[in-house]
Amino acid sequence: MDDLIKKAAADLAQANMAAALTGAGASIESGIPPFRGKGGLWEKMDPMEVAHIDAFMQDPAKVWKLLVKGMKDVVDQAQPNDCHKGLARLEALGKLQTVITQNIDGLHQMAGNTDVIEFHGTFAWQRCMDCNTHIETRRVNVSEIPPRCHCGGILRPNAVFFGELIPHEALWRSRQVATDCDIMLVIGTSAMVHPAAMIPVLAKETGANVIEINPESTPLTGEISDYIIKGPAGDTMNCIVAELEKMI
Ligand code: OAD
């Protein structure tokens, strides 16, 4: 593992353009539960019942009660962890250009990364389903469920539900970044959800080194990724950044 950390630092040191793709595992150490695996949200509830756009349209109050309100409570409190801070440090060192994230918690921006593509949208804002007004999630009054806009319309997260399209700009830019980068860190994603899981595949096909950071193997491991550093995101990023700082 130490050798792989040194290798990742050396690969980053040499790269012309580095990008990261992050998933729920990057935010676990900030207290936000993942979706799959041990302690994952989808162990407790069926995503088709609480995270599909059809479920929301049918019964917004149910989805707010079962999923969105709890998510608001957690995300409102969350702070960046060492993974987010490490990626921000890489950017400050000129060694990381873009973070593509499947997470909707805004923690990469809070840590200091300036080019963050929110592939599944953002939970920082709610939008009115009638007049499209956007309201900051932390300002939304949840004493009434579902919460409503001043116009009376129901508020929904400005994030992607299952069954919805990826925001066009995020998809387009992510493809561009995957094609242009020569190294991609793939951190804390099970790589089970498409099209996000295709981003490292595209990066690999267009010549990038793909490095996974994840305590568990994924469908990318041994197929698409050049190597996997099997460890928690925060510690691993700390070690990589420390090694890199010795090299530059
Ligand atoms: P998942 O919950 O599917 O996967 C979390 C990954 O994090 C797993 O591969 C874990 O092994 C890994 N992991 C666990 N602890 C970790 C740690 N300390 N450090 C690093 N990795 C760790 O999350 P995603 O792949 O992000 O979509 O899920 C993709 C999408 O599925 C989400 O964006 C969401 C969900 O349904 C939508 O809501 C549209």
> pLDDT tens digits for 112-169?
999 999 999 999 999 999 999 999 999 999 999 999 999 999 999 999 999 999 999 9
**Peptide bond connecting 146 to the previous residue in cis, omega within 30 degrees of 0:** yes
What global pTM score does this model have?
0.97
**Which atom of ligand 1 has the smallest separation from the CA of 83?**
19
If one counts every other C-beta atom within 10 angstroms of the C-beta of residue 21, the result is 30
Distance from Cα 244 to the centre of ligand 1, integer Å: 26
Nearest CA to ligand 1 atom 9: 190
Report the C-alpha gap between 115 and 91 in whole angstroms. 9
From the CB of 59, is ligand 1 less than 6 Å away? no
- What would the mean pLDDT of 231-243 be, rounded to a whole number? 98
- What would the mean pLDDT of 228-239 be, rounded to a whole number? 98
CA angle 113, 118, 123 (to 5 degrees): 105
From the CB of 24, is ligand 1 less than 6 Å away? yes
Mean pLDDT rounded to a whole number for the chain:
97
- What would the mean pLDDT of 200-208 be, rounded to a whole number? 98
3-state secondary structure of 35: coil
From the CB of 102, is ligand 1 less than 6 Å away? yes
> 183: which 2 tokens?
């190294």
pLDDT at position 38, please?
A: 86
Half-sphere CA count of 6, side-chain side, radius 13 A: 3
Report the C-alpha gap between 11 and 182 in whole angstroms. 10
pLDDT at position 152, please?
A: 96
